Structure 1
Amino acid sequence: MKICFLGDVMLGRGVNEASKHMSPQDHWGDTLELLSLADLRIINLECAITDYNTPWTKTPKVFHFRAEPRAVEILKAARIDICSLANNHTLDFCEQGLLDTRDYLLRAGICPVGAGKDIYEASKPCLVKAGNFTVGVVAFTDNEPPFAAGENKPGTNYLEVSLDPSVLTEVERTIQQTRDLGADIVIFSDHWGPNMRLRPSPLFKQFARRVIELGADVFYGHSAHIFQGIEIYQHKPILYDTGDFIDDYAVDPVLHNDWSFVFECSFDGYSFSSLTLYPVKLSFARVQRARGQECQQIMQRMLELSAELGTKLEVHDEFMMYQA
């Protein structure tokens, strides 16, 4: 079984405008072939999908990302199966925007996870069939505390990044609940930490390892807008940050938020067996596989960052691999 993990997908603002003149498939470029070969495709959706156009003003916020409902066709074009909504943009257009987003995704056959009409819906795992397996995804964020869901309040599944016993108890409870609901493989998604950081902090490394120790099979991180190194811990992958995948963002010429990967995890039975990384280059509202010298530069950065975490990757012409 193969699962593709992608970084932040932001379909609002400039991407929303560009989509009026592009086909849904155009935004994914030549990554569509890779995605079509996977059994499951998971993204962090970094915007609201809604016609509701009143932005969040309850607390100060600089950026508000909104895509019109036709954006769902972009997700369908790549056969996206699961969207994490536990992030700092899901409520950019208030609670109505969040509820609309969930509704549009569900109508399209895409499973939203990590946000909902109340804390019970926001914390509910997403379970999907992939081949002969049931994959369960739980999604959290430590971003934008005012967005947190409550008993009668729509919002995100907020969780502080901490080694406090109460936090770890919640992690363990959620993973066990997902197993009890029938998941063979559990993915822990976390939209965490500040932007533009090349390396996870010591606390983040400790936290991700504890998540694995508490029963998750994959740690799927995002938020920094640039990819970070990969760690294999207890024979399971920690993707500290998967970077960006589709957006309209200004590009930092040093940190390169326009570089990332398709992260393809393979499983043999219930066990992680390999990770294949396909470098990609983002342009305005579009992504494509990286080629030539730039492909080599992207892989070299990942090689070095992962080596710092004790992970040795095999470098091939246009992709990288870790073989368990």
Structure 2
Amino acid sequence: MAVTVALAGDTMLGRGVAARIGAGGRARELFGPEVRAAAASADLFVLNLECCVSDRGEPWPEPGKLFFFRTPPAAAGILAELGVDCVTLANNHALDYGFDALADTLAHLAAAGIRTVGAGAGLEAARRFEVLEAGGVRLAVVGVADHPPDFAAAPDRPGTALADLRSGVPEWLEAEVGRAAAAADAVLVTPHWGPNMTARPPRYVRRAACGLLDAGAALVAGHSAHVFHGVAHGVLHDMGDFADDYAVHPVLRNDLGLLFLVTLAGGAPAEGAPAEGAAPGRAPGGRTRPVRLEALPLVLGTGRTEAARGEAWEWVHDRFARACSEFGTAVAAEDGRLVVDWS
């Protein structure tokens, strides 16, 4: 049995994107036809939602915090229309408008049939994994963030699942991944880690990725940098942006991104020594594991994400191939997509 999972990074539906949604924009206005078709071709779709889904709340009272992202309740329906099955809220914008807005976010997404991980009404709920199922394959999803500490959930306080990954994978997270592995055929861990606008993952992220695979994850898909990084076997260090209205970095080009499609299948674990700092790519006991990655290059406008063409496509291809080569990963081009063979 096999399952294909669509994976997208930072999805910010606030500010200019929220204005389009508030004016009646639907998925077809926010996402081009090839993007929607690629998402629809997957069996499951998981992304990082970097905004509150609410029309309530006040900006989080943190001195020096510059950005506050909130999108209308209609955004939940747009994500459902796009085929999103689960979002992680473990990031630095889940509480941008306080506890009421987080509660609204959870309620609106649930009403739209979208699961959530990485945040909740208390510590246990924030850390809890969700199990998605498609094609007879059960995929457990775990969401965590390594920042900011003031958003962290506590036993009697709503917030995010905070994990200090700079010191390695904490014991509670190892245990949660182990429980998820026992409850499903494969585990996806989706961490919000590392600083913004970096060309490659910091060393602690690479170490944490290895630790998460050792704990039982079959696939690690990270986000936070707003630009995509290279992949190792079973590890997407950073998926970059999927939807936003951010200012464009002149060198790293966060207006160009990728929508990932990862196929997981049963079989013996992959062998071979990884490059330094790369994840070994073994699923415990030869269980369901990633065997193929396809990525659709994207162009991100203000509230409109479309498939890349021409010079933009070439830029994404060259940047991704170079970034992957640092992990010993070869990238091929097939029918307008970038492909990594892990079989």
Instruction: Tell me which interval the TM-score lies in, with the shorter structure as reference length.
Output: over 0.9
* 1:24 is the counterpart of 2:27: yes
Q: Which residue of 2, 26, 38 corresponds with 1:34?
A: 38
SS state at 1:104 partner:
helix
- The amino acid of 2:71's aligned partner reads A
Find 1:250's aligned residue among 229, 241, 247.
Answer: 247
**What does 1:133-212 align with in structure 2 at a 5 Å threshold?**
133-164=137-168, 167-180=169-182, 182-212=183-213
Which letter maps to 2:29? Answer: D
Q: Tell whether the 8 Å contact from 1:25 to 1:77 is kept in structure 2 after alignment.
A: no
Output the amino acid matched with 1:90: A
CA distance, structure 1, for counterparts of residue 103 and residue 64 of structure 2: 21
State how far apart, in whole Å, the 2-side matches of 1:98 and 1:230 are: 32
Q: Percent identity?
A: 35
Task: Tell me the distance in 2 between the aligned counterparts of 1:58 and 1:316.
Answer: 46
CA RMSD of aligned residues (A): 1.3
Summarize deviations over 1:131-181 as a string: whole Å, max 9, x none.
1011100010011110000010000000011345xx44223201111123x
Runs of 4+ in 1 over 3 A off after TM superposition: none
Contact 1:59–1:146 (CA<8 Å) still a contact in 2?
Answer: no
* Number of residue equivalences: 317
1:201 & 1:310 partners in 2: Cα distance? 17
Q: CA deviation at 1:58?
A: 4.6
Separation of aligned partners in 2, 1:58 and 1:117: 20
Amino acid at match of 1:205: R
Give yes or no for contact 2:259–2:297 (8 Å, CA) kept in 1.
yes
Aligned-partner residue type, residue 92 of structure 2 = N
Q: In the alignment, is residue 12 of structure 1 matched against residue 14 of structure 2?
A: yes
Rounded Cα–Cα distance in structure 2 between residues aligned with 1:186 and 1:210: 13
Q: TM-score by structure 1 length?
A: 0.95
Cα deviation, 1:215-254, whole Å, max 9, x if unaligned, reads: 101111000000011111xxxx110000001111111121
Q: Distance in 2 between matches of 1:173 and 1:48?
A: 29
Pairs within 5 Å for 1:247-286: 247-269=244-266, 270-286=288-304
Distance 1:151 1:53, change over 3 A: closer
CA–CA distance in structure 1, aligned partners of residues 26 and 67 of structure 2: 26
1:98 equivalent in structure 2: 102
CA distance in 2, matches of 1:278, 1:68: 28
Tell me the distance in 2 between the aligned counterparts of 1:162 and 1:193: 9
What are structure 2's unaligned runs of at least 5 residues?
267-287
Q: Which residue of 2 aligns with 1:2?
A: 4
Distance 2:14 2:166 in 1: 32
Structure 1 residues 204-223: aligned runs within 5 Å:
204-223=205-224
State the distance in 2 between where 1:119 and 1:60 align. 26
Amino acid at match of 1:56: W
Supply the distance in 2 between the matched residues of 1:293 and 1:301 (Cα, whole angstroms): 12
Q: Is the CA contact 1:25–1:74 (under 8 Å) kept in the aligned structure 2? A: no
User: Which segments of 5 or more consecutive residues in structure 1 lack a partner in the other structure?
Assistant: none
**After the TM superposition, which of the residue ranges 288-297 and 215-224 deviates more from structure 2?**
288-297
Q: 2:131, 2:14 → 1: CA distance?
A: 27
Partners of 1:28 and 1:103 lie apart in 2 by: 24
Contact 2:181 2:216 in 1 (8 A): no
2:269 aligns with none
TM-score (norm 2): 0.90
Following superposition, the deviation at residue 100 of structure 1 comes to: 0.7
**1:87 equivalent in structure 2:** 91
| Secondary structure class of the residue paired with 2:31 | helix
> SS at the partner of 1:189?
strand
Task: State the AA in 2 paired with 1:169.
Answer: E
Q: Residues 104-133 of structure 1: CA distance to partner in whole angstroms, max 9, x if unpaired? A: 011111001000000010000011112101
